[in-house]
Amino acid sequence: MDRLLVTGGARLSGAVRISGAKNSALKLMAASLLAPGRTVLENVPRIQDCRTMGEVLEHLGAEVSWAGGSVTIDAERIGPPEAPYELVRRMRASILVLGPLLARVGRARVAMPGGCNIGSRSIDLHVRGLERMGARFAFEHGFLEAEARELRGALITLDFPSVGATENILMAAVAARGTTVIENAAREPEIVDLASFLVEMGARIGGAGTTTIVVDGVDSFRPVRHRVIPDRIEAGTFAIAACATRGSVVLEGARPDHLELVLSKLAEAGADVLVTEAGISVGIEGRPRAVDFVTLPYPGFPTDLQPQMMALLATAEGTSIATENVFESRFMFVDELRRMGADVRTEGHHAVIRGVERLQAAPVRALDIRAGAAMTIAALAAEGVTEVADMYHVDRGYEDFELKLAALGAEVRRERLPSPVPS
C-alpha cells in the first residue's frame, strides 16, 4: 500500500529509456503456450502484471524463469488447463490464455475476469469468435468452461475492434484446420508484434495491423527468441509529463510510428517534437495551449493516454474537450483531479477542461494504472507536495516509474505504508 510523495515545480529534463510494452509482453507470454519447448522473450518490463502472467503460466504447468529483462517459458508440458480466480481477478489479461489453451489442448477453464475501474470489460466478442471456430462454452460458478475437439477456420467479424478479442481469436486460429478471416480486427502495434511472434513460431498470418487478418492454420509451433516492442503508452506518458512540467525529455527507444497522433496532439498544444537517432525529443517552453482530443482504437488517440492528457490540459491556456469512446467509464479519476483544483466537467463521454494557472497539492489516489500515472503528472505540475496513494496500480504497468521520473529531475519519494489490517 505504497504512496508517492511528489513535490511539484521541477521541469523534467534528460533522457528516459522506454521499457518493453506491457500490452505486448503479456500476450507473447500467453502465446508461448502454443510451443512445446523453451521460448525466450527479451525486453519484458519487470512489472507486476508480467509477474502475474508468469504465475498463470506456472499454474498451467509451464516453467517460467526471469533473468534481467528476459523471461524464459518452458511449455514442454501443460498440466490441467485452468486459470484460477485469484490470478484472473488480479489481472484480466489472464483471459488471453484461452485461445492458446484451446489450440494446444482443446479445452480451458478460466475464471471470469471481473470489471475494473474503467468499465464492464466484457468478453462476449472473445467467446463469439472462438465459438465460430467450433469451441463450446459453459459458464459455471464464475468460471468459463471451454472445449474444442477441433478448431476450424471461420469468417469472424468483430462488432468492435477489440484488442483482446482479436488476440484470443488469433492465437486459436493459428492452429485451426483451414483458413480464418478476422474482419474489423484491432490494428494496435501490439497485435502486429504478436502476429510476428506467431509467424516466427511457424504460424501463417497475413494482414496483421490492418482491419482484416487472414490466418492459415498449421499443426505445430516451435519455441523462439523474440524481443518485445517498446511501450508506446509509457513513452506517451513521459512525453505528456515533460509538457506538463514545461520541460524537455528524450524518449530513448520509443517508436515514433507508434505515437503519430499523440505527438501531433502535443505539437498542437505547443510542444516541440523532434525525432532523432537517440529517440523522440518532446519539450515545451511556456504554458500548453488547450486542444480537443478523441480516443479511438488504433491509430486513433489511445484511451490509455486519456487520463494523462487530461492532467496536462488541466493547466493549459484555454478550454479543451476530451471525448472517451473506448471505455464507458474512464472519467472516474476526474474527481481526484478536481481535488487538486482542476476545473473539469464531464457529460457522458465528454469532458470539458477549463485550464487553470496551477493545480494545488492534495491527498489523491491512483484508481487504475493510467489514472495513477495521470495523478502523478498532475502532482508534478502542482504547487506543493501531493500524496498519490495506492501506487500498486501504477506498479502493475510501469517499470521503475518514480526512479525514471527522479532521473529526469522530479522530486518524488515512495513511502511504504503498512497494509491495512483486514477488518
- Beta carbon of residue 384, minimum distance to ligand EPZ (angstroms, whole number): 28
Helix, coil or strand: residue 364: strand
- Beta carbon of residue 177, minimum distance to ligand EPZ (angstroms, whole number): 24
For 43-169, where are the E strands, in sequence order? 63-67, 70-74, 82-83, 107-111, 136-140, 143-147, 155-157
Our CB check for ligand EPZ shows the closer of 339 and 370 to be 370
Helix, coil or strand: residue 121: coil
Q: Which of 116, 218, 267, 296 is catalytic?
A: 116
Our CB check for ligand EPZ shows the closer of 18 and 326 to be 326
Name the pairing type of β-strands 411-415 and 3-7: antiparallel
Taken in order 371, 374, 376, 378, the sign of the CA dihedral is negative
Task: Scan residues 80-119 and list those touching ligand EPZ (CB under 6 A).
Answer: 93, 119
Our CB check for ligand EPZ shows the closer of 120 and 157 to be 120
Our CB check for ligand EPZ shows the closer of 47 and 364 to be 47
Q: Which residue is nearest to ligand EPZ (CB)?
A: 164
Binding mask 154-173 for ligand EPZ (x = CB under 6 A): ------x-xxxx--------
Our CB check for ligand EPZ shows the closer of 99 and 247 to be 99
Can 243 be counted among the known catalytic residues? no
Helices (H), 259-368: 260-268, 306-313, 334-339
* DSSP letter (8 states) at residue 388: E
Cα gap 146→28, rounded to integer Å:
21
- How many residues sit close enough to ligand EPZ to count as binding (CB under 6 A)? 24
Task: Scan residues 1-20 and list those touching ligand EPZ (CB under 6 A).
Answer: none
Per residue in 300-333, is it b (16+ CB within 10 Å) or e — as a string?
ebbbbbbbbbbbbbbbbeeebebebebbeebbbb
Closest listed residue to residue 300, CA positions, set 96, 163, 95, 166: 163
Task: Scan residues 286-305 and list those touching ligand EPZ (CB under 6 A).
Answer: 303-304
Q: Known catalytic residues?
A: 116
Which residues contact ligand EPZ (rule: CB under 6 A)? 22-23, 26, 93, 119-126, 160, 162-165, 303-304, 326-327, 369-370, 397
